[in-house]
Amino acid sequence: MENQELIPHLFRTEYRKITAVLSKTFGLAHIEIAQDIASDTFLQASEMWGIKGAPDNPVAWLYTVARNKTLDYLRRDKLFKEKITGQVVRDSPVGDELEIDLSTQNITDSQLQMMFAICHPSLPVESQIGLALNVLCGFGISEIAGAFLTNKETINKRLYRAREKLRTEDVKMEFPGETDIESRLDAVLRTLYLLFNEGFYSAGKDVTLRKDVCIEAMWLTKMLTENPGTDRPPVNALLALMCFHASRFEARTNPQGETVLYQDQDDSLWDATLICRGEYYLNRASVGQQLSRYHLEAAIGYWHTIKADTPEKWEHILQYYNQLLILEYSPIAALNRTYALAKARSKTEAIREAEKLNLTTNHLYHSLLGELYLGIDEGKALEYFNASLSLAKSKADKRLLMEKIERINEAC
């Protein structure tokens, strides 16, 4: 691997490890210092390796430099050293020297504990996602701003407040106890799910960046499946659902970076390997009694990977949406259920159900009804697509709607 690829690659995998281990060493209140040292380490790597070439064992090199930078920092900042060594050095075998444990075990543990800390229920969800992108995925401020479609200043403020919150709430880097592991893990899964969706559904133009967000969310979820304490059915179900969705990544965007709707996708572009991985994790999820929303969404995802467009396929999808909605309401699930109803039964039945949904301010509600009226009443379809267009915000949505309206007008 060339340097210009090697460093970004290592940054993705090693930045969070160094940050997690150092945050655990210093205490989470000093996460910023841990992040600074990790960033500095990579800065030095890109300078040195650019001149001398990459060392034989780049990862070991990074860890050594990070350790040295930490010791330097402690030597320079006596006050900080006293503050943290007051708590740490007592247990440390080297006495005066702080021990920085970069063993595989501690790296894994620290990363998992960091996930639990960042997804602490005292933090607003927005902050959790921001921190996850920044600390766990090694995304820079401008990348996060790009993913969230906002500016750097907003993201900077959000991260600042999130780190403040970690301090004031005194969030610790530790594994939750047996009594609250389930609810804490639930919070982690929710954040990873949102993180994935941020990448998958965001209207951001940068396709590579959005794909990276999805891949990182999958990596973090996979990490949870590799740890016996967190390898639970809902975790596997979430990973399965991510794999099924991600299998359509190439098919759902055209070369211009515009969204291609499911029914218009070229299914030869669906990624068979990811579909297989999804089936593997869905099988692993199918133990025990618990049927989480991730199980149901993974099952829906699975049926979407079946290419044949039959009423049976949509009947399965419809029944899973029924169960999902009974478990937890969301407008998007309500709309998708209605679409499945049209495919499994008839458009007329779906229209009847759609009209009961009180979602008239949602542009997707109007485009669904427009879709359902196609072939039944083109005039009504046109009305609904126009209503949707007046509510749609993103350029991609507007373009899709305008195409539909144009197609109806041409046919008339």
Partner 1 sequence: MNDFLFVFRNDPAVMSNMSPEALQNSMQKWMDWIGGIAAQGKLVDRGNRLANEGNVVRPSQVVTDGPYIETKESVGGFIMVRAESLDEATEMAKGCPILSNGGNVEVRPIIRM
Q: Which residues bind partner 1 (CB under 8 A)?
A: 318-319, 321-323, 325-327, 329, 331, 333-334, 337-338, 353, 356-358
Q: Least distance (Å) from partner 1 to the CB of residue 157? A: 33
Name the residue nearer to partner 1 (CB basis): 13 or 358: 358
Taking the least distance from each CB to partner 1, the nearer of 82 and 328 is 328
Judged by beta carbon, residue 349 or residue 378, the one nearer partner 1 is 349
Residue 335 CB, nearest approach to partner 1 (Å): 8
Query: Whole-number minimum distance, CB 366 to partner 1, in Å?
Result: 16
Which CB atom, from 277 or from 337, has the smaller least distance to partner 1? 337
Between 350 and 374, CB nearer to partner 1: 350
Smallest distance, Å, CB 290 to partner 1? 16
Residue 99 per-residue DSSP state? P
Of residues 352 and 407, the one with the C-beta less far from partner 1: 352
**Residue 132, phi then psi, degrees to nearest 5:** -60, -45
Separation of alpha carbons 314 and 310, rounded Å: 7
- Please report how close the Cβ of residue 303 comes to partner 1 at its closest, in angstroms: 16
Burial class from Cβ neighbours inside 10 Å (0-12, 13-18, 19+) for residue 219 reads middle
What are the φ and ψ backbone dihedral angles of 259, each rounded to 5 degrees? Answer: -70, 135
Compute the least distance from the CB of residue 310 to partner 1, in Å: 17
* CA atoms of 309 and 154, how far apart (whole Å): 44
Q: Which of 325, 237, 219, 328 is nearest to 287 (CA)?
A: 237
To partner 1, the closest distance from the beta carbon of 321 in angstroms equals: 7
Of 250 and 353, the one with the shorter C-beta distance to partner 1 is: 353
Closer by beta carbon to partner 1, 42 or else 320: 320
Question: What percent of the chain is helix, strand and coil (3-state, nearest 5)?
Answer: 75, 0, 25
For the bound state, the minimum distance from the C-beta of residue 353 to partner 1, rounded and expressed in Å, comes to: 6
Beta carbon nearer to partner 1, 44 or 323: 323
DSSP 32-60: HHHHHHHHHHHHHHHHHHHHH---SSHHH
Q: How far is the CB of 344 from partner 1 (least distance, A)?
A: 10
